[in-house]
A and B are shown apart, each in its own frame.
Chain A
Amino acid sequence: MAVVTVPRRKSRRVQPMANAKLVSGLALVVFFLLLILAHPLFQATIWDREFRVYDPFIGYDTQVVHPAGPSADHWLGTDSLGRDVVSMFTYSARYSVVVALSAGLAIGAASLLFGSIAAYKRGWIDSVVTHFSDAMVFLPALLAVYIIGVGQDPGEFGALAVGVTFGVLYGLGPATATVRAAALGVMAKPFIDVARLAGAGMTRTVTRHLLPHLVPHAAVQAMIGVAGAVTAEAFLAFRSGVGDNIGFGYLVFEGLTWGELFAGVLETPWWVMSTGAAGITLLAGAFFLIGAGLREIFDPHSLDPRKVD
């Protein structure tokens, strides 16, 4: 046999790095990962450890009047209880990121599972899945998570539980509807017939031929849904605001309460609230941008209802 060097894989024609939305979204995610790393790093290096001035829960700097605006010691100021905002912010980043990732995975898994099975099986399974996802579109996952979580101990209903609950509720609604529509389009392609002719059963057809084409659609839905999950967690933390989980929402809550109570008496500590809100918006925005970028790259037609059936 002649010796021929065979390239096993060639680069796709799609160039993801040329998409501005995707690149900026990824950059933001990297920024948040760095934030998570920054907390232990700062704690180990530049933050005073002896008096725990920078502790996210009990830190108190006796040198300044709280709440204090941004300064050299406290880059984003301190909140009404004297805690350093940078410390709270970097500490709470990990919770919000856990929520985002768990919600994203749950959305992807739920939508891929039900979307692909519905499109493969058709018949009554398909109509059950379709009607169910149609109905779930009208149930705001954020409110449902709020109802489920409001009375709970944050230890029991922590970041992971919030993320997964939101992800499953959202994933069964809009995400499944979109993935199923895309799956119907794939199922109509001749290469599915070719696979059936090869004798491939359901497992093989779905895993080898259907799912690879659906992953981009599910990823887009997961990204869009993650934005909602981050908001949901923040809102839950914002409304209940207790325990270990000081999510970004808690910062907003802190700022708002202070502002409401002392409106006109003291200057509103806008830095507390704005930091939290910026964190939420940037994190949600990061995933939203990745989702929008992926949609542009993979399939601009993914939301076109005329492609259904």
Chain B
Amino acid sequence: MSLVDTQEGAVRGPRIPWLVTFLARRGLWALITLIVYLAVVFILIQVWVPFNFATPARLAGPDAYQAALEALGLDRPLTERLFEFVGGLVTFDLGTSFTGDPVTTMIADTAPVTIFIFAVGALLAFVIGESLGRFGAWHRNWPTRSILSTIGVLFTTIFPPFLVFLIAFFLRDPFWDLREAMGLPIDSLEVWRDVAVEQNEVMLLMSLALLGAVIGGALVRIWAHRNRVRWVAASALPVTVVAAVVGVGLAGFGAEAIDLLYRSEMSQTVATGSPLLVLVGVVLITFGQVMFMMKVGIEDERNEDYVLTARAKGLTEEVVRDRHVARNALAPAIAGSFLALPTIIAGMVIIEFGLEVRGLSWAFFNAVETQDIPLIMGVLVVLGVMGIGLRVVADLVIAYLDPRQRRA
């Protein structure tokens, strides 16, 4: 853990902590990337797609086609649409959906679930994939390796709608039973009848509690490692996560939180599926990618001289693997996993839609099928912001692990 303080030796002038300069640089990077991304989205939707969105109307004759263009707002000059888009972004206003509601509200209603699933799912998938990859790469006997590889390839390349079917077929009933076992009524509406808060607020509370737990746990872990309090280091993360869960329960939202997670499409009145099932799906399609990256990383590192040195010092295999090799393999694994992000986001959106969770993808698919251009763009904007934000966080983790990256 002493790696943190070994930077910035030769710099003249006042010492700025690496974190500040790093965040400034990554912030600028994120801004530029976001602008380019938004430009791509604008071109995709406003320039490329209109041929298609208005295409069905073309068959009905030129008048109908013109009417369709007007209805979609595509008859206005491109510059006008561009100014509207940019102006809207600056004021956090994404326009009005064709349903009449502001896009911002529609996204605010649907995004929390998706963000929760994405964040928790990515984190879980990373933890699982990282440990499996570490395990698989270190143990060279072929049954372990090939079984892990096969499972990884199968889930990475699975057709997401089919995964939806598998989850619904095998997991829906057990989840349903679990919900019943916790004493919740079948109809979600009954749970929320006398509750003053919005569902999204509970979702937000859960997300924040979990986020706080993970960050707090990580900080305690670092502190414990520095001071060599082993049992604290080992138990820090689980304890804080459990504390967060208990905390949400004590705050009086236990039943509501469980209801949110264990939704069943059978509760017709609220009519949404279970985010937890989507979470399982996201983890399944993601962990394989991380596992491969980790395996590649470990196999690169394991033949380096420092591994030999570590063994020669008499360290146990676990310590060599976890403290020396895995730590160095982790940064490339995180960076490599990011290249799989488009596949993962696409998969998540499909699974979420398939399991009837009213998240961003529900908004997205409805928008595409009703040609609701402002809403499509709004969803893509939010997905991009989420991805870029996650990337900055991941870069921070990489920089923490690998001092060489702090100036990159």
Contact = CB atoms under 8 A, between A and B. Distances in A.
B44 interface: yes
A152 B55 contact: yes
B300 interface: yes
A170 B408 CA distance: 25
Contacts of B60: none
B341 A300 contact: no
Contact of A147 (B40, B160, B376): B376
Interface string A120-155: 000000000001101111111111101111111100
B216 interface: no
Interface stretch (B6-14, B181-189, B194-202, B342-350): B342-350
Interface string B295-337: 0110110000000000000000000000000000001100110
Contacts of B391: 138
A306 B299 CA distance: 16
B404 A227 contact: no
Contacts of A60: none
A115 interface: no
Contact of B159 (A137, A149, A280): A280
Interface in B361-393: 364, 368-369, 371, 376, 380, 383-384, 387-388, 391
A54 interface: no
Interface residues of B, number: 64
A227 B380 CA distance: 23
Contacts of B161: 235, 238, 249, 252-253, 256
B45 A147 contact: yes
B341 A134 contact: no
Contact of B339 (A135, A141, A177): A177
Contacts of A304: 297, 300, 332
A73 interface: no
A138 B402 contact: no
B99 to A, nearest CB: 18
B296 A174 contact: no
Contacts of A259: 165
B292 interface: yes
Interface in B148-183: 149, 153-154, 156-162, 165
Given A131-B32, A280-B159, A140 B343 contact: yes
B37 interface: yes
Contacts of B48: 148
Nearest to B387: A138
A227 B156 CA distance: 9
A131 B300 contact: no
B53 interface: yes
Given A138-B342, A147-B44, A235 B384 contact: no
Contact of B153 (A228, A231, A285): A285
A134 B29 CA distance: 10
A301 interface: yes
Contact of A174 (B146, B342, B402): B342
B374 to A, nearest CB: 14
Nearest to A228: B343
Interface of B: 29, 32-34, 36-37, 40-41, 44-45, 48-49, 52-53, 55-56, 146, 149, 153-154, 156-162, 165, 292-293, 296-297, 299-300, 331-332, 335-336, 338-343, 345-346, 349-350, 364, 368-369, 371, 376, 380, 383-384, 387-388, 391, 398, 402, 404-405, 408
27 contacts: A131-B32, A137-B341, A138-B388, A139-B44, A140-B343, A144-B44, A147-B376, A148-B44, A148-B52, A150-B368, A151-B52, A151-B53, A173-B342, A178-B339, A228-B343, A231-B346, A235-B161, A252-B159, A259-B165, A276-B159, A281-B157, A281-B159, A285-B153, A292-B153, A303-B336, A304-B297, A306-B402
* A-B complex: 6 closest residue pairs judged by Cβ atoms: A277-B162, A142-B346, A284-B157, A135-B36, A140-B346, A174-B339
Interface of A: 20-21, 131-132, 134-144, 146-153, 170, 173-174, 177-178, 227-228, 231-232, 234-235, 238, 248-249, 252-253, 255-256, 259, 273-274, 276-277, 280-281, 284-285, 288-289, 292, 295-296, 300-301, 303-306, 309
